[in-house]
Structure formats: structure tokens, C-alpha cells
Amino acid sequence: MDNMLTFQDCVKIGTFTKPYGYSGTLLLRFDPEWEASLESAERVITEINGLPVPWFTAHDGIRITSSQSALVDLDWIEDQETAEKLCGHEVYLLKEDLVIQAPNQEHNDLTGYQVVVEDGLPIGTIIRTENFSGNLVMILETPHGEKMVPLHEDLVVEHNTALRTLKMNLPDGLLEL
């Protein structure tokens, strides 16, 4: 029994908050320091009946949507009803799966990212981000000049670090302001 999984082998990174859609995807709220670890994770751990239970992620099953949220698809969780049973559960990663980052690495540096809307059309490039009393805003360089777009997890559909793109679902008329 030496190989039994214990919470001493794990680090709490966040919580499953709610289902996302009807296919069993879960919304995970996590501490920003664990983003790189999540991007490479093949499994997550939850506590069920006081015991750590590993869940393997589906292929490309973790999609980071902001610096503090991700959409997670787990093997064997295929519908909203089953996903709801994991809502409210704390989420852990095994210590051996953690990615240690340089201390001064900026988690939210999106400068140079291309912002695209859900149909894939590019709308502009992020030239900087600004914080207005706790409200994060991206300043985009667009063909029509600089535009401000709120950086909120509910608007971000996909954050692709490899392609340096941020796919967003923006309200109608936002770019005309």
C-alpha cells in the first residue's frame, strides 16, 4: 500500500464551480500561479468522501480561458448531470506534475496577442493592458485605431499561448464605441 495517493502528494490549485454547456465540461477557477501547470496537466485530483480521487483529462481537455479560469473535460464525465456532481469540489494537482516558473514571469502579459472573434476573424492586436479600479482592459490596435476591450473571463472563449491568440465572444456594438 506504499503507492496509495494522499493529499500530502498534492497541491490545491482551485475549485470546480459549475458545468459549462451540456457535454460534461466543467469551469475551473484556479489561482493564477498554477496556469502553466494546468496547461500541461493530464490529470487532476478531487476529494470525494475524504479521499483523493484522480481524474484523467480528455485529449486537449484543459483549455485556459483567463488567468484564473479554465474549461476542463474529464474522461468519463460526458453530461451536465454528472459534471454537476463535481461542482464545489476542490481541485488538486500532484506535486510531481507542477511546473515551476521563474519568479518574475508575468502571468497576464498578453501584449502582442491577436484578438479574434468566435468565427475566427481577427479584430486587432493587444498593445497593452490597463487596470481601471480592478477592471482589466486590453488596448487593441485595430484598422480603425485603438479600441478598449474589457478583459473578463466570461468574454474569453479560448486562450492559445502557442498561437498567441485570444478568441473572444464580444457583445454586439462593443467595438463601435
Domain range summary for the chain, segments of one domain joined by +: 7-97, 114-176
pLDDT at 2 (0 to 100): 55
6 has a pLDDT exceeding 80: yes
Output the pLDDT for position 100.
Answer: 64
Q: Is the pLDDT of residue 172 over 50?
A: yes
Q: What separation in angstroms does the CA of 101 have from each of 32, 55, 136, 157?
A: 12, 24, 23, 25
Q: Does domain 114-176 have CATH number 2.30.30?
A: yes
Residue 135 C-alpha cell reads as 477592471
Position 102 scores a pLDDT of 42
What's the rounded Cα separation, in Å, for the pair 5 and 51? 9
Task: Give CA–CA dist 167/21, Å, rounded.
Answer: 18
User: Contact, 105 vs 96, CB < 8 A?
Assistant: no
pLDDT in tens, 51-72: 999 999 998 899 988 878 999 9
DSSP state, residue 134 = T
pLDDT of amino acid 15: 96
Nearest residue to 85 via CA among 114, 111, 53, 108: 53
Q: Which residue, chain included where needed, has cell 478568441?
A: 167
114-176 and 7-97 share a CATH fold:
no
Alpha carbon distance 63, 59 (integer Å): 11
pLDDT at position 85 over 60:
yes
CATH (one of 3.40.630.10, 3.30.360.10, 2.40.30.60, 2.30.38.10) for 7-97: 2.40.30.60
pLDDT digits (tens, 9 = 90+) for 89-122: 999 999 888 876 543 334 357 889 999 988 888 9
Residue 1's pLDDT band (cuts 50, 70, 90): very low
- Straight-line distance from the first to the last Cα atom of the chain, in angstroms, rounded to the nearest whole number: 63
